[in-house]
Structure formats: C-alpha cells, structure tokens
Amino acid sequence: MPQSVERYRHLKQNDPEIYDLIQKQAVYEASTLKMIASESFASFSVMEACGSPLTNKYCEGYPGARYYEGYEYVDVIENLAIERGKKLFGAEHVNVQPYSGSPANQAVYRAILKPGDKIMGMPVPDGGHLTHGWKVNFSGRDYVQVPYGPSPATGRFDMTQIRETAKSERPKMIWVGATAYPHTIEYAQFAEIANEIDAYLVADIAHINAIIIAGVHPDPVPFCDIISSTSHKMLRGPRAGFLLSKIEDRYQTQYHPDSKLNLAKRVDRAVFPGLQGGPHMHIIAAMAVAFRDAMTPEFKEYGKQIVKNAKALAAGLLARGYDLAGGGTDTHLLILDFRKKEFTGKDAAQALAKSGIISNFNMVPGDHRSPFVTSGVRLGTPSLTAMGMKEAEMEMVAGWIDRVCQNIANIDAVAPTIRAEIADLCKKFVIPGIS
C-alpha cells in the first residue's frame, strides 16, 4: 500500500468509498508504466499545497487590487508564484490565475483578437490541441482556423509550405505548439513568418516546458508575444494553467476594446474579469512550489533525462522493426505508426493497458483510419523519468511493447505475465507523491 494512508485518515473515516478508490488508483499508478505523454507525478509538497487551507480563501482580483478583504497572505503567495515564474522562464510578465490550459488559451484569444479573426494552428488529427482552432472547440467556432501541420511523408514541419500558407491567408495570430509532435519546434523560424505578415506569435508549451527549462529544446520566450502553458504534465505541479507575455504590444490592435492597455494588462484583463472569477489560491501556491522545484539542478537533469529516455525508447523500437511518426523523437514523446498493420492504434493501446503500459491511441500524419480508432499510439517518458528510470529501463520497455504488439490477437494470454514483470520493475523505484 502506498505511504499516503496517514494523509487521508480523515477521508478514510468520513468517506471510505472515495478513500478506497483513491488508494486503488495510487496502487495502480505505482504498479504500471504511466506513459501518457501529458502525465507525470506531482511531488508531496505540491499535493500538500493543493490540500491546504488556502482552498477556503476567495480573493477575486489581483494582488493589491482585490474585491475581498483578508488577502494579506494570499497576495504574498500569488506574487511569489509570479516572481518565480518570471525568473524560471525569463519572462517579462506572468499570470498564474488560469484554471487550466484551455482557459489560458481562451484568454490569449480574448487578449489580442476579435471573433471571426483568422488564426493558424495545427488541427487535432495532425497533433495540435483543441484550442488551436479545432472545429468542435470554441476556438474553431469563434475564429477561423488556417491549418498547418507536419508533412504526411516526413512527419515534420515543412517551413516553406507554412510560410506560403501564412503569406496567402495572413492570419492575425499563429499558434506554435502541439500535443503529438515529436520533433523540435524552431520558434525563430515561426517568428520570421509571423513578422512578415504582422501576426502575433503564440507558443503553447504545456507539453514541453520542462525540456525548455532544461535547455534541451529551443526557448520560445525571445520570439513569442504570449506563451501559454500548464503546470501539470512534465512540470510536475498542480492541474492549472499560466501565461507568459511581453509587456508591450508590438501592434497595439486598434479594434480591441482594451486597445489603450499594454499587452500584459490585456492578458490580465482577459483572464479576470474576462473569463474567470476568484483564483484558486491553493493551486497558485502549489504552482509556486513547482516553479521553485523547477529551478533546481536536479530538475534540469530530469528534463534532460526525459529526452534521453525518449530517444532510447525510440531506438529500441526502431531496432525491433517498428515505424515511428517522423522517424523518431527529439522531445519527450514518440508515436508508434501502425498504418501498415491490420490492428489499429486503439487495439494496441488497449492491449498495452491490459499489460500494464498506459498510453493513448493517436492519429499519425497521413492516417487513413478514423480518429476513434487511429493508426498510432502516443508514448511519453516524463513519468518514467520522474521515477528514476533511465536508458536501460527504456530497453526493457521497448521489449514489453514488442511482446504486446506481437500478441495483440492473443493478448489475454500474455498480458498477466507482462504486467507482473512491470510491477516487479516498478517496485525498484520511488513513485513521487505516492511511495
């Protein structure tokens, strides 16, 4: 049983049903390989801040300008989070109030655009996010998406084609960021394109913030007007969003209702009162903890090891004859490409889960299958790296993935053995925030 029983003693007495389910989830996470690329493990200190008395405090507004009294200590906490965020990312301005990544992205639109404006973004099937203009999301209903994405032939961005599309369509904003693109994003090249057409450049780094901090991925801060992110995923903080931005607006959009304000103030106003009410102070405190943790040498080594592990896993799979979208990875994730196989990505993801490898089925560039089944499986290394696993363990993981894929038609016969082997491996490592 994970060493979290004492922390939940009141819950165990008051609501044993929920307590029992939490314990089962903790055991599950401690005995399987968490390889969903958008997940990692929050620390005990982050979770303690999330569960602190700060959850009781309502303090609508910003530090020094609240609409409620009793804010003496919460103002200090929010200012700490802001200053730590500025220092960590080298940003001019930070807003830590967005409830999550999607509200943060919605605030970006509200800060610089008007409904009906054109934006460039990656469609979800190509590896983008719902909020980058996908048709079923507010971003695709309220704004006009000009799509771009990786080449189906190479799985990588064709910057010549992206420039031609941008110059032809002239969007007012370009999103650069992804949820399923395994290669380096060159912000400088996107900035050149944005500057040519007088467009805002906005980076979504929710997936890759830790490897940016570690210096193993290009930094968007020098090139982008606004940067959105989450503090969970590989940053290992609470489930929340935050925004980085320049202070001054390069374009000072005249039609915007807040056009007399600088960019930083427009971002703040878009978050509150534009979209949200009172901030979640317990989450902001936990974010401050995560920012502090991310400044340590140990965290930077963790970020570097994430990429080393992803590359090692990719090498192990390529050596076993598997196709990977784009031929491999430069980041924290890779995508198995099963377009040539009879089974689907969903078949493989479900078989992997039965065997103790938790992933998600995912579209690949040029996918001929439906988004409901796909031809790909997305795998990430942040959680395994947080546990302390390195290249040797990635070779073992590649072997287990191979055994699963070789036995999809007979998975119920082999899954228990593989799952037991994985549970034995997990026992050798500390599960952050659980064990």
User: Is 60 an annotated catalytic residue?
Assistant: yes
User: Is 393 an annotated catalytic residue?
Assistant: no
E strand segments, 116-204? 118-121, 144-147, 173-177, 200-204
Asked if 262 and 246 count as a contact pair (C-beta separation under 8 A), the reply is no
Q: How far apart are CA 228 and CA 107, in angstroms?
A: 9
Which position among 7, 66, 239, 369 bears the catalytic label?
A: 239
Encoding tokens for residue 386? 């947080």
Q: How far apart are CA 25 and CA 358, in angstroms?
A: 13
> Radius of gyration of the chain from Cα atoms?
22
Which position among 39, 48, 60, 421 bears the catalytic label?
A: 60
Which position among 78, 126, 204, 293 bears the catalytic label?
A: 204
Which position among 12, 19, 48, 58 bears the catalytic label?
A: 58
Asked if 224 and 212 count as a contact pair (C-beta separation under 8 A), the reply is no
Q: Please state, in angstroms and as integers, the Cα–Cα distance from residue 15 to each residue in 8, 11, 22, 211, following that order.
A: 10, 5, 11, 39
Q: How far apart are CA 363 and CA 184, in angstroms?
A: 19
Q: What is the DSSP secondary structure assignment for residue 120, as one 8-state letter?
A: E
User: Is 58 an annotated catalytic residue?
Assistant: yes
User: Is 87 an annotated catalytic residue?
Assistant: no
User: Is 239 an annotated catalytic residue?
Assistant: yes
User: Is 233 an annotated catalytic residue?
Assistant: yes
Question: Is residue 1 packed enough to be buried (19+ CB in 10 Å), middle (13-18) or exposed (0-12)?
Answer: exposed
Catalytic residues: 58, 60, 204, 230, 233, 239
